[in-house]
Amino acid sequence: MKATVEKLENNRVALHIEVDKERLEAEMGKAYRRLVGKYNIPGFRRGRAPRNIFERYIGRPVLLEDAIEHMFPEVYREAVEETGIQPIDQPDINLESIGEDQLKLKVSVEVYPEVKLGEYTGIPVERTITKVTDEDVENVLIQMQNEHAQLETAPHEQVQKGDFVTLDYEGLIDGQAFPGGAAKNYLAEIGSGRLLPEFEEQLLGAKVDEERTVEVTFPEDYKPDSLAGKKATFNVKVLNIQVKRLPALEDDFAKDVGNYENLEALRRTIRENLENSARQEAEARMRQALIDEAVRRSETTAPDSLVRRETDRRLLQVARVFYYQGLNPQQLLEEDSEEAKAWRESLKPDAVKAVLEQLVLDAIGRQEGIDVTADEVDAEIERRASGDNVNAEEVRKRYAEADAKENLRLAMRLDKVIDFLVEKAIITEKTVERPAGSDASAAESKAESDDKGL
């Protein structure tokens, strides 16, 4: 077998593959043995017809088609190895010619683009750690207080601001349902901003079992874009009205939420966790800044097939969020739905960015000989299996599949490449005050303690 490469446009190449007479004849013989038992040839018992008669009866093209179909995976693999191309999509196969001495195939396929790396070592970068304040600690404490509050039936009959209202609702745009426009037993805090302000305002004064028609206009910057600026009509039924009863912030509260000695001990742990989170966030921002700069200094393109895959992966994540929020993600999963198209369009820029990052990091990894061994992958699987609150056997089973293990290896390799960039970077570290009016992002996650169960 011999293979040559012809460069085409848009990151595509054509492989011209020549299969010699001996190999082709051997494959035709295998095709004959596979097919002869499937045909009734006059004058012969099934499966007993000689090849020359069988071939004359069914036609040589039938044998040739079967032979090519069965030999192609191996021939293609050999051609890829011989030419060194890196395919990223399924190949298109065409028969160029067949003669007495050889078979010629033309295989076109999309390949990874060339990456021209810029200077990726010695990148100057800042590790900026945000200072944790007493106010940050109190914000977390208040958040915990709210999360441990009890909901009880409201003493008043009509919906007021601050109430927790359980709703059934169904929305229509131009008389048609839309994804995310309907929910059952949806718990909303009136005034929290989780729903559109217009929606919440029109529920004020409603009573239990009351049904209302709510009309809203989605903001011009609303996501997905397919809903932006559109008017919708919702049929809403109020199922329940509740109010929140907050526990007192005292020593007993600290003991209840994590068996702390007193409230001050809880505050100390919150501060420690916030400081750890601030350091982790600073590290994550710095690593992303290094990736962004390495990409900026490099030259490459994002292949359509990779962008499409990454966009679809992100769309699936959106659909999962819809599902866990009690919303119907069906139209997001329908390939040609307007909703899916709108979401794909809005997700595409970030998908392109992610693909470019992966291409550049992969190229750096190849340039520096960075890889992950099978033993390292197995060790990481065991580390995950030994974690707290995980089922070790389920974790091992999840990574038993070759694809899952390979995906883990690739992710670990990218992390190694980023570690390399950090090691070679020129890092300046500084601590800054949090901008006035902004909340600690770490506070929003409660700064949970690993051992206290916060």
Q: Residue 374 pLDDT > 80, yes or no? A: yes
Domain range list for the chain? 2-110, 124-131+250-444, 150-245
Specify the CATH number of the domain 150-245. 3.10.50.40
Q: Please name the residue that has the structure tokens 């010629």.
A: 104
- Check residue 449 and give its pLDDT: 36
- Check residue 448 and give its pLDDT: 39
What tens digit of pLDDT does each residue of 317-347 get? 998 888 887 777 887 878 788 888 888 999 9
Q: Please name the residue that has the structure tokens 């770490």.
A: 442
What percent of the chain has a predicted confidence (pLDDT) above 90? 71
- Give the single-character DSSP code of 54: H
What is the distance between the alpha carbons of residues 369 and 91, in angstroms, rounded to a whole number?
28
Distance (Å) of CA 143 to CA 138, 147, 440: 8, 6, 12
Q: Residue 41 pLDDT > 80, yes or no? A: yes
What is the distance between the alpha carbons of residues 222 and 229, in angstroms, rounded to a whole number?
8
Query: What ranges in 374-436 are assigned the alpha helix state H?
Result: 374-385, 392-398, 402-424
> Quick one: pLDDT band at residue 389, thresholds 50, 70, 90?
confident
> Quick one: pLDDT band at residue 436, thresholds 50, 70, 90?
low
The identity of residue 160, as a single letter, is Q
Please name the residues in contact with 293: beta carbons below 8 A apart, sequence gap of 6 or more: 123, 125
Among 119-123, 148-152, 192-196, 227-231, the range of highest mean pLDDT: 119-123
Q: Please name the residue that has the structure tokens 């390495």.
A: 294
Q: Residue 452 pLDDT > 50, yes or no? A: no
> Quick one: pLDDT band at residue 442, thresholds 50, 70, 90?
very low
What tens digit of pLDDT does each residue of 81-121 get? 999 999 998 999 998 888 767 899 999 999 999 999 999 99
Q: Residue 164 pLDDT > 70, yes or no? A: yes
Q: Residue 274 pLDDT > 80, yes or no? A: yes
State pTM to two decimals: 0.70
> What are φ and ψ of residue 36, in 5° steps?
-60, -30
- Check residue 393 and give its pLDDT: 87
Two structure tokens written together for 358:
């992966």
What is the distance between the alpha carbons of residues 366 and 105, in angstroms, rounded to a whole number?
31
- Check residue 193 and give its pLDDT: 84
What tens digit of pLDDT does each residue of 3-39 get? 999 999 888 999 999 999 899 999 999 999 999 999 9
- Check residue 187 and give its pLDDT: 93
Cross-strand bridge partners of residue 106: 16, 94
- Check residue 446 and give its pLDDT: 39
Q: Residue 216 pLDDT > 90, yes or no? A: yes
User: Can you say how many angstroms the Cα of residue 350 is from the centroid of all Cα atoms in its chain?
Assistant: 11
- Check residue 437 and give its pLDDT: 59
According to CATH, the superfamily of the domain at 2-110 is Trigger factor ribosome-binding domain (3.30.70.1050)
> What are φ and ψ of residue 185, in 5° steps?
50, 45
Q: Residue 453 pLDDT > 70, yes or no? A: no
Q: Are strands 102-110 and 150-153 parallel, antiparallel or unpaired?
A: unpaired
The identity of residue 256, as a single letter, is D
User: Can you say how many angstroms the Cα of residue 229 is from the centroid of all Cα atoms in its chain?
Assistant: 28
> Quick one: pLDDT band at residue 441, thresholds 50, 70, 90?
very low
Cβ distance 39 to 31 under 8 Å?
no
Please name the residues in contact with 313: beta carbons below 8 A apart, sequence gap of 6 or more: none
Which among 400, 303, 404, 316 has a CA at the least distance from the CA of 358? 303
Cβ distance 86 to 300 under 8 Å?
no
Characterize 164-192 residue by residue with b for buried, 16 or more Cβ atoms within 10 angstroms of its Cβ, and e for exposed.
bbbbebebeeeeeebbbbbbeebebbbee
Which among 448, 447, 427 has a CA at the least distance from the CA of 132? 447
Give me the architecture of the 124-131+250-444 domain, per CATH: Orthogonal Bundle (1.10)
Mean of pLDDT values over 259-285:
95
Q: Residue 451 pLDDT > 80, yes or no? A: no
Q: Residue 253 pLDDT > 60, yes or no? A: yes
What tens digit of pLDDT does each residue of 124-157 get? 999 999 999 999 999 999 999 998 999 999 999 9
